[in-house]
Structure 1
Amino acid sequence: MELSLSYQVKLLGCGGKQHISWQYSPCLFFPSRKSAKFFWRKGRYLGIRHSCQKVLSYSKQDIPILEARSIEEIYDDLVERVLSITKTANHFNKKYIIGLAGPPGAGKSTLAAEVVQRLNIISCNKDAVTDSAVQNDSIAAVLPMDGFHLYRSQLDAMEDPEEAHARRGAPWTFNPDLLLKCLYSLRSKGSVNAPSFDHGVGDPVENDIFIGPLHKIVIVEGNYLFLDEGAWKDICSIFDEKWFIDIDLHSSMQRVLKRHIATGKEPDVAKWRVDYNDRPNAELIIKSKQKADLIIKSVNFQC
């Protein structure tokens, strides 16, 4: 059962957790599991549209759910959320690292790129993040998990190479230890050279992404960031905040199917790959949703 803006209840601390729901009023909480803060933007309160559109609600697990009528509203709310948290929490003595997870086809790459672009535009044009102007330098960056695929040669060396290539994209076809090492470097040194992924070649490109000291906000996006096993569990613990894009399985698989066909696969081959690899991966990823601090309802993101 969801609690919406129309319900008035109490804010109680119980066992270290906050039990929260909403009262329709001029002030709106936009909390994470760790804190609750007030948010204001240009004459209106974040989360309450002029049409009184509900965009934030709570499930019984107390995970905030961000939903809106358009992609633009989602982008605006996420940008405002990041700016408000980083300003009030004094996070600019270190990186503020956000983990963004979700099943294939949810729109993770699109959302991460758009939020980062808007943060960088605001930082340059309006000096909205720090008291001193940041000229011609980005304050936000994206670190995709794609660059941490195992190389094809590593798949060839596995016990069953054919199965390894067929299941490429499953958790065991990535190098989470390398991702963890990069995130540790980002935390301790403030910068890192990370791999990207060349889809034309089908392999990672080493040291192709540089995240430097001026990148104070980093969005790490990928499928398995919230898994509760092995190195993935350590990766999950590094994030300051965890976002999960929620989409129904059928819709996400339809998007993935179209993507496979668009890249040249025959429809029957594409469908086989979705059923054999993408769907089982998505089912596993969806189980990790409960690790999120914020659930974002997908509204037809481009993938």
Structure 2
Amino acid sequence: MVARAALGRGGRAVLGITGAPGAGKTTLVERLLAELAEHPPEGAGADWVAHVPMDGFHLADAQLDRLGLRDRKGAPETFDAAGYAAMLERVRTDTSETVYAPGFERDLEQPIAAALAVPPSARLVITEGNYLLLDEPAWHRVREAMDEVWFCDLDDPTRLERLVARHVEFGKEPDAAALWVDRVDQANAALVAATRARADLVVTTPARLA
């Protein structure tokens, strides 16, 4: 695995998990984190694996309003791709001190500065996001900063049902949630689907686990 290869060379590996909105990326990451924490490689400590999602690099609503992108929130241009790439590059190479990264508060729908920490002992960092394999200049640096990228796949009916339910959970009315999925999330999903062939591994998510 990428982490063991990194340990062998004395470095740190970055594993990316990508897929369309609602495909089960976070569920897959949570399962990986739980299993890997229980089975650290020889010479690694208990906190040898860390998690830094792409969501922390959402532009704040104030910036989206300034740019006229509030109704496109979640599209590639509503993220700080350069900042995300710079963080991944530092995470991959700087094992001398704790690296802090922004998180994302779902209740507020806003990024939170320095909410996440990657300790020097971490040898594998898992990151997740929709656009890790996007073939656009702003996102090429992101792919180059990762050792491998896995694509999380889920059948569309289940994925869409999950997306609507998620938006309702975080405050949208059911009709508004369905409209947002149709007008925004599905456009983003089409972009992500086109990147599937670039993944190192495709992981099909069982609907019951998504």
TM-score, normalization: structure 2? 0.92
In structure 2, what is the Cα distance between the partners aligned to 1:172 and 1:273? Answer: 17
Task: Indicate the residue corresponding to 1:24 in structure 2.
Answer: none
Which whole-Å deviations, capped at 9, do the CAs of 1:59-89 have from their partners, x for residues lacking one? xxxxxxxxxxxxxxxxxxxxxxx3xx54467
Q: Give unmatched runs, 5+ long, in structure 2.
A: none
CA contact (8 A) 1:107 1:301 kept: no
2:185 aligned to which of 278, 284, 295: 278
Give the drift of 1:253: 1.5
Task: Indicate the residue corresponding to 2:72 in structure 1.
Answer: 167
Give runs of aligned pairs for residues 10-89 of structure 1, distance below 5 A: 82=1, 85-87=2-4
Give the drift of 1:263: 2.4
Task: Indicate the residue corresponding to 2:12 in structure 1.
Answer: 95
Task: Indicate the residue corresponding to 1:157 in structure 2.
Answer: 66
In structure 2, what is the Cα distance between the partners aligned to 1:90 and 1:264? Answer: 43
Which whole-Å deviations, capped at 9, do the CAs of 1:223-256 have from their partners, x for residues lacking one? 1011011221111122111100112333311210
- Taking a change above 3 Å as real, the CA distance of residues 298 and 202 of structure 1, as seen in their structure-2 partners, is same
1:148 aligned to which of 46, 53, 57: 57
- Taking a change above 3 Å as real, the CA distance of residues 216 and 266 of structure 1, as seen in their structure-2 partners, is same
- Asked which structure has the greater RCO (Cα within 8 Å, sep 6+), the reply is 2
Identity %, equivalent residues: 35
Give the drift of 1:274: 0.6
Which whole-Å deviations, capped at 9, do the CAs of 1:166-205 have from their partners, x for residues lacking one? 2100111111111011011112312521000112222111
In structure 1, what is the Cα distance between the partners aligned to 2:14 and 2:79? Answer: 21
CA contact (8 A) 2:104 2:112 kept: yes
In structure 1, what is the Cα distance between the partners aligned to 2:146 and 2:176? Answer: 37
Task: Indicate the residue corresponding to 1:180 in structure 2.
Answer: 85
Give the 3-state SS of the residue equivalent to 1:111 in structure 2: helix
Give runs of aligned pairs for residues 237-252 of structure 1, distance below 5 A: 237-252=144-159
2:125 aligned to which of 218, 221, 229: 218
Task: Indicate the residue corresponding to 2:167 in structure 1.
Answer: 260
The structure in which a higher percent of residues are helix is 2
Task: Indicate the residue corresponding to 2:140 in structure 1.
Answer: 233
Give the 3-state SS of the residue equivalent to 1:157 in structure 2: helix
CA contact (8 A) 1:106 1:301 kept: no
Give the 3-state SS of the residue equivalent to 2:150 in structure 1: strand
In structure 2, what is the Cα distance between the partners aligned to 1:291 and 1:238? Answer: 15
1:108 aligned to which of 25, 32, 48: 25
| One-letter identity of the residue aligned with 1:182 | M
- Taking a change above 3 Å as real, the CA distance of residues 216 and 301 of structure 1, as seen in their structure-2 partners, is farther
In structure 2, what is the Cα distance between the partners aligned to 1:224 and 1:255? Answer: 19
Structure number with greater Rg is 1
In structure 1, what is the Cα distance between the partners aligned to 2:113 and 2:6? Answer: 34
2:39 aligned to which of 102, 117, 122: 122
Give the drift of 1:284: 0.6
Task: Indicate the residue corresponding to 1:292 in structure 2.
Answer: 199
CA contact (8 A) 1:86 1:92 kept: no
How many correspondences in the alignment? 208
- Taking a change above 3 Å as real, the CA distance of residues 264 and 240 of structure 1, as seen in their structure-2 partners, is same
